[in-house]
Every structure is written in C-alpha cells, then in structure tokens.
Amino acid sequence: MTNRYAVVLAAGQGTRMKSKLYKVLHPVCGKPMVQHVVDQLNTLELNELITVVGFGAEKVQDQLGDASHYVVQEEQLGTGHAVLQAEDILADKEGTTVVVCGDTPLLTGETLQKLLDHHDSEQAKATILTAHADDPNGYGRVIRGGNGQVERIVEQKDASDEEQAIQEINTGTYCFDNQALFQALQNVSNDNVQGEYYLPDVVEILKNESETISAYQTPDFSESLGVNDRVALSKAETLMKERINERHMRAGVTIQDPTNTYIGPDVKIGQDVSVYPGTVLEGETVIEEDAVIGPHSTIKDCFVGKASVVKQSVATNSRIGERVQIGPFAHIRPESSLGDDVKVGNFVEVKKASFGDGSKASHLSYIGDAEVGSGVNIGCGTITVNYDGHNKFLTSIEDDAFIGCNSNLIAPVTVGKGAYVAAGSTINKDVPAEALSIARSRQTNKEGYATKFKSIKKD
Ligand code: UD1
Ligand code: CA
C-alpha cells in the first residue's frame, strides 16, 4: 500500500473570528475544531500526521498532544507557504499527502476515505474535494475547462464576476502525490490580491505540467463548511449537533427535542436512554441503557449506570452507578462515586465523596470529602464540615448509619457502622458503631410562660 501522510493547516490567527482564542481552538459541540479534524484524519491509516502551527502554537500543541507532529509557520504567508513548512519531513517521501484546513470541523473520515479512493483510482497527482454551494461566497471557486477537467482554483478576492457566479467550491481539502506537491510548491508565487502563497495554485501548476488533476465532489456541502467567523461557527455547531443527535436516535436513543439537546461528539449512549430538553452531555461521558437524563441536566466526563435518572442537575467527572436517582437540582462535583440505588435529591451537593450502594441524601445537604458506606441515610440539612480555612478533612460514615436532620459532622470524624446521630447534632468526636450520639443542648419547657407573657399590658 502507498504511504499516506496528512498535513493540517492551523497556523492562522483567524482575524475574522474577532477573538482572543485562536480560531482552530474554538469548540464545536464542545470539541476544538482542529481536534475534530485530527480525529477524523486518524480514522485513515496514516504514516504521519503533521500540523502546521503558528498563532497560538503552544495552545494548539497542548490540545492535540501526541496525536500529531508539529511544524511552525513563523509568518502566515498563505496556505501554500504553510504546507511548505512540512518540506523537511515530507518532501522526499513517496506516497499520498492529504491536506486539510483546521477550520473545517464537519469533514468526516468517510469522505476523506472516498477522496483518497478517488485519487488512487484516477491515478491523479492532485485531487480536490469540492462541493456545490448554494452560497459560494468566501470560498475559492473551481474552474473547469471545456472538457469538464479541473484547471485551477480562483480565490473569491481574485475572481471575476463570471467566476464568482460558479457554485462549485474548493473545500480546502486535497490529496496530492507527495513529491509532486512539494515540487509544485516551489513555483507558487504571491502575485495575487492578498499577496499570499496560495496552496490551490499548485493545481494550476501541475495542470500546466500536463499532470492528471481530479476532483471529487462531496454531495453534502455541510461537510465542507469552513469556519472563518462566528456566524459560520454557529452554523457548524447546529450541523454537528444535528449529526450527533441523529446518530444516537438511529441507535435507539430517544431525544425528545433534538434542537435543544447538546451532545458532545465522544459521548456514548446506550439503547433506550431518554434525553429530555436542555440537556448538555460533554467530554467522555458514558450513559448506559435505560437511563433518563434531563430535562436541563449538564453532565461532563461522567459514567452513568443503567436505568439511573438525572433530572435538572449538574454532574462532573464522577461515576454514577445503576438505578441511581439524582435531582432535581443536585450538584455532583468532581471525583465523586455513587454506588447502585443511591439517591441524591434536591439541593444536595456532593464533592469528592463516595456513596455505597443504597445510600441516600434526599434533601438539602453538603457532602464533601466524605466516604459514605452502603445503606446510609443522611437526613435533610446534613453538612460535612470539611474545611477549616486551610485544609480539607475527611468524614467517614460507615454502613447503615443514620444521620438525623440538620446535623453538622465536623471533620475529621467517623460515624461508626449502624450508629445514629440525633437530629440537630454537631458531631466533633467519633461515634462508635451502633451508638446513638446526641450533641445539642437539652430542651427546657417553661409551663404557662406564653400566657403570662401575653397578659402583660403594653403602655
Ligand atoms: C481557503 C482556500 C479556499 C477554500 C477555503 C475552504 C486558500 C488560498 N484558499 O480559504 O480556496 O475555498 O479555504 O474553507 O487556500 N493557514 C495557515 N497559514 C497561513 C494561512 C492559513 O496555517 O499562512 C490555515 C488557517 O489557520 C486555516 C486554513 O489554513 O485553518 C485555511 O486558511 P483560511 O485563511 O481560513 O483560508 P480561506 O480564506 O478560508
Ligand atoms: Ca477558512
């Protein structure tokens, strides 16, 4: 098989975004655009993937990590100049190089594969991925000769009125014979309106050398959407959202209102899960079958077990077992772990805490830095007092303990197995297993006091 390389162009600042964040790092459905591109390229079998970085180089490298090699384009002199930065690594290699812009997040691995197959079967030196655009504004136009063969690409700013009327656009994705690419790049000039070295000029150069140039037109324009400004960003977001939601629905997930459901590209959802409106599922979240999520829940980097219910709640970086009930209005903060059949009810905050199977905190509690055993009942208004202004301390509540309402557990402290804490207690010493601890002042009743008080005449 021929060697395959990929070059991702990601050095531009993205002036048209008017943003402090570098363009290719703007997220679409929670994932930076350039990461979408790299993830799709990685579905192909590549010998090497190189990203051209410039503006925000460090940030782009932090994002992509080891998934790519990097070359730096010090000055942004155009897309042709950008590819040329990979010359030292690629120029003498035999094989095919795919070039993709870092601002086309909707491009799929399937389309890239079709482009490669087309390139191979046509034995072309260059194959352009083109699309038919209803509104071709801003894109390079594909100029075909009388015989229908691609002759060159003209940028919007360099195009005549007649050329601007052409609706076949350059998606900015190409396959090249690698050696032909780097030879042709030597001859690209910056003699154009923008004074830039245009990568698409390679097409005309190769054509003039009588090489075979081909084009593969993708039927789905949306894949070629290039994001140059925030209007296009929101279009990309909508299209990506529709694509993701449709994939889940076809796989057996009920999404009541897909226009108001936001699911990240890497989220996994089991069969017969129901997702209600206003739900945001992000990161590496996994939702197992029969779970019910939403309305209005935000879950990031969590595992949610079978048949669990998360209503109007927020959960981050935590593990939630099976048949767990969360919400409405609960907050599961990072590094928490809830066993099976747990209940975390309204206005309960859980932080860096583990709950064993069947434990419940049904109302109005803060459980932070805590280990809660199984079968524990935490009464309304219970607070783990975990912080003294300097350090955090651990609260341990052992299996089957019962914490009465409105109790403060001042950490570090342990409530032993099966123990009871009386309502309204402030516990600052360990409670032995099976004990009852009462830590509140005794109640005094003054008989007849109220009647006497009310009978005192006011002046
Ligand atoms: C480019 C194409 C255009 C095509 C469109 C598709 C050129 C000259 N034009 O235009 O034909 O229709 O994409 O979306 O290629 N970049 C660098 N270094 C540079 C310049 C750009 O790395 O010096 C990167 C940018 O970060 C971006 C990508 O290349 O990810 C494309 O650059 P951009 O300025 O967005 O090109 P377009 O004007 O959209
Ligand atoms: Ca662009």
Instruction: Say if ligand 1 is within 6 A of residue 338 CB.
Output: no
Q: Pick from 126, 120, 107: which is nearest to 43 by CA?
A: 107
Does residue 166 register a pLDDT over 90?
yes
Structure confidence at residue 241 (pLDDT)? 98
- End-to-end Cα spacing for the chain: 105
pTM of the predicted model as reported, rounded to 2 decimal places: 0.92
Q: Whose CA is nearest to atom 11 of ligand 1?
A: 140
**Ligand that lies nearest to the alpha carbon of residue 10, given by its number in the listed order:** 1
pLDDT grade, residue 455 (50/70/90)? very high
Does residue 140 register a pLDDT over 90?
yes
- Percentage of the chain with pLDDT > 70? 100
Structure confidence at residue 1 (pLDDT)? 72
Q: Whose CA is nearest to atom 31 of ligand 1?
A: 101
Structure confidence at residue 247 (pLDDT)? 98
Query: What is the rounded distance in angstroms from the CA atom of residue 128 to the CA atom of residue 150?
Result: 9
Instruction: Say if ligand 1 is within 6 A of residue 170 CB.
Output: yes
Structure confidence at residue 457 (pLDDT)? 75
The full DSSP string for 365-392 is EEEEEEEE-SS-EE-TT-EEE-B-SS-B
**Ligand that lies nearest to the alpha carbon of residue 24, given by its number in the listed order:** 1
Q: Pick from 191, 176, 74: which is nearest to 125 by CA?
A: 176
What are the residues whose beta carbons fall under 8 Å from the beta carbon of 77, sequence distance 6 or more?
Answer: 190, 196, 197
Coil, strand, or helix at residue 96?
strand
Question: Tell me: the pLDDT tens digits for 27-82?
Answer: 999 999 999 999 999 999 999 999 999 999 999 999 999 989 999 999 999 999 99
Question: Tell me: the pLDDT tens digits for 215-256?
Answer: 999 999 999 999 999 999 999 999 999 999 999 999 999 999
Q: Whose CA is nearest to atom 1 of ligand 1?
A: 172
Structure confidence at residue 421 (pLDDT)? 98
Look over the chain and give the mean of its residue pLDDT values, rounded to a whole number.
97
Question: Tell me: the pLDDT tens digits for 329-378?
Answer: 999 999 999 999 999 999 999 999 999 999 999 999 999 999 999 999 99
Structure confidence at residue 13 (pLDDT)? 85
Q: Best of 7, 79, 203, 217 to mutate for ligand 1, by most ligand atoms within 8 A of CB? A: 79
Does residue 459 register a pLDDT over 80?
no
Structure confidence at residue 458 (pLDDT)? 73
Question: Tell me: the pLDDT tens digits for 89-109?
Answer: 999 999 999 999 999 999 999
Ligand 1: atom nearest CA of 169 is 12
Residue 412, amino acid: P
Does residue 321 register a pLDDT over 90?
yes
Mean pLDDT of 138-164: 95
Residue 36 dihedral angles phi and psi, to the nearest 5°: -55, -50
Does residue 86 register a pLDDT over 80?
yes
Mean pLDDT of 140-156: 95
Q: Best of 101, 170, 223 to mutate for ligand 1, by most ligand atoms within 8 A of CB? A: 101
Which amino acids are annotated catalytic?
363
Q: Whose CA is nearest to atom 25 of ligand 1?
A: 12
Of all helices (H) and strands (E), which one includes residue 199?
Answer: none
Mean pLDDT of 385-389: 96
Ligand 1: atom nearest CA of 194 is 8
How many angstroms separate the alpha carbon of residue 225 from the centre of ligand 1? 12
Mean pLDDT of 420-448: 97
Q: Pick from 162, 111, 159: which is nearest to 138 by CA?
A: 159
Ligand 1: atom nearest CA of 34 is 30
How many angstroms separate the alpha carbon of residue 9 from the centre of ligand 2? 10
Q: Are 50 and 7 in contact (CB under 8 A)?
A: yes
Structure confidence at residue 161 (pLDDT)? 96
